[in-house]
Chain A
C-alpha cells in the first residue's frame, strides 16, 4: 500500500516537473508576436489618429457614404496622403510625392481587395478564408497536405478552365519531378537544375523557362538588432571587410556550376531587363590577392569566424541552397581564411529574423520581381522604408533611390539609380551573386502553359482538355492566404488565384493591365491617381465590389492604428516596403 502510494507520488512529482518544463515555452509563445499592435487606450501619436478619421465624404452626390482615410500631413514619412471613395465606383489616391510606378505597385497581389464586411468579420485576419473576386475560390485547406480551389462561376472575366484547382507542395525537387513523371500532378515549379535536361528529353513533358527576373545575394547586416550582440567587435560592420568579401568570392564559379541555363552572374543588384536595372559601375572583379590585402588592412589578416544563415528552400534565384551555401563557405575559408559556420533556419523564422535585422553573420537570400520597377528592387531593399535586414541605412544610397523613385521617365531616373548602384558597390550591404533563371515544367498535354517572370502563374488559363482538375505542385506550402501580410512567393501565388487588386499583370508577362479597375488616370504631377472600378463585380460571398471595399482593404494595411491592422504577424512588409512608413506607426 505504502509502496503504491509512493509510486503515485513520484509519478505526480515527475509529471509536474515535466509540465513545468514544457509549460515555459508554451507561455512564451502565447505572448503576441505582433509588434505593430496599435495602442488601444492611448494613441502613441495623438494628432494623426484624430485626423485620420473615417468620415463620410461630403462631396458624394448620391446617398453613397464613401470612406475617406487621410493623413493630417506628410510628416509621418509615408507616400500616401489619402485614400478616398469618391463615389461607389471611384477611388482616389492622393500622394505626398509623385510616383510614376504607382500603377505597377498597386497592381501587386498584396494590395488585393476583399469585402469590408469580411475583413471586419475575421478581425483583419482572413488567413485561411480570403474572399476575393478571382476566377477561383478557396474550397478547403488541409494544412500540410493540399489546398483546394473551385471555379467561381460568377467571375467577371473569362471563367477558369478547370472546375477544381489543387495546390500541393514538396521541398524536394526530385519528388516534384517524380510526381510529374508519374502523372499525379500536372505541373511543377522549379525543377532541379540537374533535371532540366531530363525534362527536355521527355516527350510527355514540356519545360517553360522563366525569365531571370530575380537576384540571389549574400547579405550583411552592419548593425544587427539581436539582443546582447556587441557590434563593436563585428567584423561585418567594417566596410572594408565587406568589400574584401565582395572581391574574394568567385561568383562565376557559383553560377557556372550550380545554376540552370538562363542564369547569369549579377553585375548589379537589379536584373538588366528592369528599366535602369544595371546602370552604374559593374560589381568588383574576383581578385583574391586584393581581397586578402584589404582584409588585412581592415585588421583581420588571419580572417575571423562568422555564420552563414539561410533557409533550405528552393527558389528561382537559389536552385540548390545547401550546395551553394557550402561553396560560399568553402570559398570564404579558402580565399580569405574566414571560418563560416552554416546555420540552416526554418523559412518563416529566417525571413522574420532577416527583416527584423537579427541575423548577425552572413545571410543568403534572394528576391524575385513582384513588378518590373527599380522601386521593387533597390527601393524595397535599400530605400527609406526598407527593413532592418542590412542594418543601418546608408544616406547616399537612400537619397539616390528616393530621388529616382519620384521621377516619371526612365531617362530622368537613370542618373539617380546609377548613383545608387555605385553607392551600393562602395558600401556593400550585400553581394549580388546571380540572376537566377528557373523554369516551370508541365505535362505536354497542358494548354496555356506559361511561366511568369513575376512567379505568379495563373491556373485559370492552364488546363488539360477533358480533365476537370488541375494539380499544381510548388516548393512549399503557403504560409497564409491573407497576402497583405505575406511576402513569400509560395503564398502570393496561391492568393493570386483567389483575390485581385485594382490592376493586375498580364499573364506570363510584366505589363500592367486593368483588373478590378477598368481605367485610371493620374493628375499632371503624378500625385493624384483616380481609379474607376469595374461595375457588377461580385465577390465569392455574393456581395458586390464597391469603392469602400477598396478603401478598407488598403487602409487596414496603411493605418497602424486601424483596429483591423492585425494580419498574420502584423508586419505588412510589402506596404511599408512599397509605400514607406505606416500611418500612426507606434514610436520605435
Chain B
C-alpha cells in the first residue's frame, strides 16, 4: 500500500514531465520525417524571422509616403511598378523591389511589417480562444450536467453562425479597428477549442488513473488541470496550429472589408483591399500581399497537418 502511494507521489512529482518530454521527442522526430511539415516550418521560420527583424530589413518606414522625401532624383509616382537595380532598373532611380503603393509608400517595407501584424493576430486570437475554450470545454466535460448543457448550447449557438459573419457583426457593434477585430475573431474561434477539449476530457475522465486520483482524495480542480488536461493537450495543439491559419485569413478578410486594421497600418488584407481596383493597372499591389497571406496560411496548414499525423499514435506505423 505504502509502495503504491509512493509510486503515485513520484509520478506526481516528475512522472508527467518525464513522459511528456519523450512524447515531444517522438513527435519531433516523426514531424521531421514529413516533407510537407518541413516546408511549412521553413516558411513559417522565414515569416517569424521577417516579423522579428522587420525594422532592420525594411528599407523605408511602412507609413512614409515617398512624395515628401526630399532629394528624390525622379519624381516618385504612386503605384509605380517594382524597380530592382539588379534586374536592369536604372541606377538613378531609387530601388523599390516591390514598387510603390497608392500612397507612394514602399510596398516591400509594408509587406515586411505586415508579417509582424499577421503573426501577432494569429497567435493572439488563438491564444485567447484556446484559454477561454479550454476552460469552458474542460468544465463542461468534467462536470457534465447542467454546466455542460449550458456551456455547450451557447457554443452551438456560436457555431450556428458563419464565423466571418459573426465576426463582422461583433466588429460592427464594437467599432472597426484591429483590437476589436482580434477580439471578434477570438470569440468566434472559442467553440472549436471548447468542443475539442470537452471531447478529450470526456474520454479521459473515466480512465483508471483518474479514478485512482479521485479515490485518493484529489479535488476536482486538481484532477481536471493536473491529471486530465495534460492528456487532452494533443488535439488542442493540432487544432490551434490550424486555427492560426484560419484566424489570419479571417483577420485579413475583416481588414479587406475595412473593419480590421485601420490605415495607415500595413496589414496585408487592408493593403489588398485598398488596391483592389488596381488589379489591372498595378497588379503587384494586389498580388504581393495576397501571396504573403497565402504563404503564411499555407505554412500553418502544412505544419498543423504534419503535427496531427505526428501526434496520432494510430499513424505511428505509417511514418
Please report A residues at the B interface, Cβ cutoff 8 Å: 6-7, 10-11, 14, 18, 172-175, 177-178, 192, 194-195, 198, 250, 253, 257-258, 312, 320, 322-323, 325-327, 329-331, 334, 341-344
Binds A, one of B31-39, B187-195, B234-242, B276-284: B276-284
Q: How far is the CB of B254 from chain A (nearest CB, A)?
A: 13
Please report B residues at the A interface, Cβ cutoff 8 Å: 63-65, 67-68, 77-79, 102-104, 146, 149-150, 153-154, 157, 176, 258, 262-264, 274, 276-282
Whether the pair B78, A323 counts as a contact (CB closer than 8 A) is yes
Whether the pair A10, B277 counts as a contact (CB closer than 8 A) is no
Whether the pair B277, A192 counts as a contact (CB closer than 8 A) is yes
Whether the pair B149, A10 counts as a contact (CB closer than 8 A) is yes
Residues of A close to B154: CB separation below 8 A: 14
- Known A7-B149, A334-B68; 5 more pairs at CB < 8 Å: A194-B79, A250-B68, A257-B78, A323-B78, A326-B102
Residues of A close to B280: CB separation below 8 A: 174, 177-178, 198
Whether the pair A320, B67 counts as a contact (CB closer than 8 A) is no
Q: List 14 A-B contacts (CB under 8 A).
A: A14-B157, A174-B277, A174-B278, A174-B279, A174-B280, A192-B277, A253-B68, A258-B78, A323-B78, A323-B102, A326-B263, A327-B67, A330-B68, A331-B68
Residues of B close to A330: CB separation below 8 A: 63-65, 68, 103, 264
Residues of A close to B63: CB separation below 8 A: 330
Asked, given contacts A257-B104, A320-B102, whether A173 binds B277 with beta carbons under 8 Å apart, the answer is: yes
Residues of B close to A195: CB separation below 8 A: 281
**Contact residue among B103, B149, B157 (Cβ-Cβ distance under 8 Å from A326):** B103
Asked, given contacts A14-B154, A194-B282, A257-B67, whether A322 binds B149 with beta carbons under 8 Å apart, the answer is: no
Q: How far is the CB of A474 from chain B (nearest CB, A)?
A: 16
- How far is it, in angstroms, between the C-alpha of A5 and the C-alpha of B104 when the chains are bound? 64
Whether the pair A341, B157 counts as a contact (CB closer than 8 A) is no
Residues of A close to B153: CB separation below 8 A: 7, 10-11, 14
Residues of B close to A312: CB separation below 8 A: 258
- How far is it, in angstroms, between the C-alpha of A209 and the C-alpha of B103 when the chains are bound? 25
Query: Which residue of chain B lies nearest to A7 when distances are taken between CB atoms in the complex?
Result: B149
- How far is it, in angstroms, between the C-alpha of A172 and the C-alpha of B63 when the chains are bound? 25
- B interface SS class: loop
Residues of A close to B176: CB separation below 8 A: 343-344
- How far is it, in angstroms, between the C-alpha of A505 and the C-alpha of B299 when the chains are bound? 61
Whether the pair A325, B277 counts as a contact (CB closer than 8 A) is no
Whether the pair B262, A342 counts as a contact (CB closer than 8 A) is yes
Query: Which residue of chain A lies nearest to B104 when distances are taken between CB atoms in the complex?
Result: A257
- How far is it, in angstroms, between the C-alpha of A175 and the C-alpha of B276 when the chains are bound? 10
Q: Which one of B63, B77, B102, B262 has the greatest number of beta carbons of chain A within 10 Å?
A: B102
Q: Which one of A195, A320, A326, A334 has the greatest number of beta carbons of chain B within 10 Å?
A: A326
Whether the pair A327, B103 counts as a contact (CB closer than 8 A) is yes
- How many residue pairs at the A-B interface have CB separations less than 8 Å? 77
- How far is it, in angstroms, between the C-alpha of A18 and the C-alpha of B161 when the chains are bound? 13
- How far is it, in angstroms, between the C-alpha of A330 and the C-alpha of B281 when the chains are bound? 24
> A-B pairs with the 9 shortest C-beta distances?
A174-B277, A323-B102, A194-B281, A326-B263, A330-B65, A326-B103, A342-B263, A173-B277, A10-B153
Q: How far is the CB of B64 from chain A (nearest CB, A)?
A: 8
Residues of B close to A6: CB separation below 8 A: 146, 149
- How far is it, in angstroms, between the C-alpha of A325 and the C-alpha of B264 when the chains are bound? 10
Residues of B close to A320: CB separation below 8 A: 102
Residues of B close to A198: CB separation below 8 A: 280-281
Residues of A close to B146: CB separation below 8 A: 6, 10
Query: Which residue of chain A lies nearest to B68 when distances are taken between CB atoms in the complex?
Result: A334
Q: How far is the CB of A68 from chain B (nearest CB, A)?
A: 50
- How far is it, in angstroms, between the C-alpha of A198 and the C-alpha of B279 when the chains are bound? 13
- How far is it, in angstroms, between the C-alpha of A172 and the C-alpha of B280 when the chains are bound? 13
Q: How far is the CB of A548 from chain B (nearest CB, A)?
A: 47
Q: How far is the CB of B194 from chain A (nearest CB, A)?
A: 15
Whether the pair B65, A172 counts as a contact (CB closer than 8 A) is no
Q: How far is the CB of A281 from chain B (nearest CB, A)?
A: 27
Whether the pair B68, A172 counts as a contact (CB closer than 8 A) is no
Whether the pair A194, B274 counts as a contact (CB closer than 8 A) is no
Residues of B close to A14: CB separation below 8 A: 153-154, 157
- How far is it, in angstroms, between the C-alpha of A432 and the C-alpha of B54 when the chains are bound? 39
Residues of A close to B64: CB separation below 8 A: 330
- How far is it, in angstroms, between the C-alpha of A253 and the C-alpha of B69 when the chains are bound? 12
Whether the pair A194, B278 counts as a contact (CB closer than 8 A) is yes
Q: How far is the CB of A377 from chain B (nearest CB, A)?
A: 29
Query: Which residue of chain B lies nearest to A195 when distances are taken between CB atoms in the complex?
Result: B281
Whether the pair A174, B258 counts as a contact (CB closer than 8 A) is no
Residues of A close to B150: CB separation below 8 A: 10
Asked, given contacts A174-B279, A194-B281, whether A323 binds B68 with beta carbons under 8 Å apart, the answer is: no
- How far is it, in angstroms, between the C-alpha of A331 and the C-alpha of B63 when the chains are bound? 11
- How far is it, in angstroms, between the C-alpha of A320 and the C-alpha of B79 when the chains are bound? 13
- How far is it, in angstroms, between the C-alpha of A258 and the C-alpha of B277 when the chains are bound? 14
Asked, given contacts A10-B149, A10-B150, A194-B79, whether A326 binds B281 with beta carbons under 8 Å apart, the answer is: no
Q: How far is the CB of A8 from chain B (nearest CB, A)?
A: 11
Asked, given contacts A257-B78, A258-B78, whether A322 binds B276 with beta carbons under 8 Å apart, the answer is: no
Whether the pair B102, A322 counts as a contact (CB closer than 8 A) is yes
Q: How far is the CB of A11 from chain B (nearest CB, A)?
A: 6
- How far is it, in angstroms, between the C-alpha of A312 and the C-alpha of B176 when the chains are bound? 15
Residues of B close to A175: CB separation below 8 A: 277
Q: How far is the CB of A51 from chain B (nearest CB, A)?
A: 48
Q: How far is the CB of A473 from chain B (nearest CB, A)?
A: 14
Whether the pair A329, B78 counts as a contact (CB closer than 8 A) is no
- How far is it, in angstroms, between the C-alpha of A47 and the C-alpha of B55 when the chains are bound? 72
Residues of B close to A323: CB separation below 8 A: 78, 102-103, 274
Whether the pair B102, A341 counts as a contact (CB closer than 8 A) is no
Residues of B close to A178: CB separation below 8 A: 280
- How far is it, in angstroms, between the C-alpha of A330 and the C-alpha of B258 when the chains are bound? 18
- How far is it, in angstroms, between the C-alpha of A327 and the C-alpha of B78 when the chains are bound? 11
- How far is it, in angstroms, between the C-alpha of A10 and the C-alpha of B102 when the chains are bound? 53
- How far is it, in angstroms, between the C-alpha of A326 and the C-alpha of B276 when the chains are bound? 16
Whether the pair B157, A18 counts as a contact (CB closer than 8 A) is yes
Whether the pair B263, A329 counts as a contact (CB closer than 8 A) is yes
Residues of B close to A174: CB separation below 8 A: 276-280
- How far is it, in angstroms, between the C-alpha of A6 and the C-alpha of B104 when the chains are bound? 61
- How far is it, in angstroms, between the C-alpha of A11 and the C-alpha of B146 when the chains are bound? 12
Whether the pair A322, B263 counts as a contact (CB closer than 8 A) is yes
Whether the pair A325, B65 counts as a contact (CB closer than 8 A) is no
Whether the pair A172, B276 counts as a contact (CB closer than 8 A) is yes
Residues of A close to B277: CB separation below 8 A: 172-175, 192
Query: Which residue of chain A lies nearest to B150 when distances are taken between CB atoms in the complex?
Result: A10
Q: Which one of A10, A312, A341 has the greatest number of beta carbons of chain B within 10 Å?
A: A10
Residues of B close to A7: CB separation below 8 A: 149, 153
Asked, given contacts A10-B153, A14-B154, A329-B264, whether A253 binds B102 with beta carbons under 8 Å apart, the answer is: no
- How far is it, in angstroms, between the C-alpha of A268 and the C-alpha of B28 when the chains are bound? 70
- How far is it, in angstroms, between the C-alpha of A197 and the C-alpha of B16 when the chains are bound? 70
Whether the pair B258, A344 counts as a contact (CB closer than 8 A) is yes
- How far is it, in angstroms, between the C-alpha of A344 and the C-alpha of B260 when the chains are bound? 12
Q: How far is the CB of A228 from chain B (nearest CB, A)?
A: 16
Query: Which residue of chain B lies nearest to A342 when distances are taken between CB atoms in the complex?
Result: B263
Residues of B close to A173: CB separation below 8 A: 277
Residues of A close to B149: CB separation below 8 A: 6-7, 10
**Contact residue among B65, B258, B276 (Cβ-Cβ distance under 8 Å from A327):** B65
- How far is it, in angstroms, between the C-alpha of A175 and the C-alpha of B77 when the chains are bound? 23
Query: Which residue of chain A lies nearest to B76 when distances are taken between CB atoms in the complex?
Result: A257
Query: Which residue of chain A lies nearest to B262 when distances are taken between CB atoms in the complex?
Result: A342
Residues of A close to B67: CB separation below 8 A: 253, 257, 327
Q: How far is the CB of B239 from chain A (nearest CB, A)?
A: 25
Residues of B close to A326: CB separation below 8 A: 102-103, 263-264
- How far is it, in angstroms, between the C-alpha of A329 and the C-alpha of B63 when the chains are bound? 10
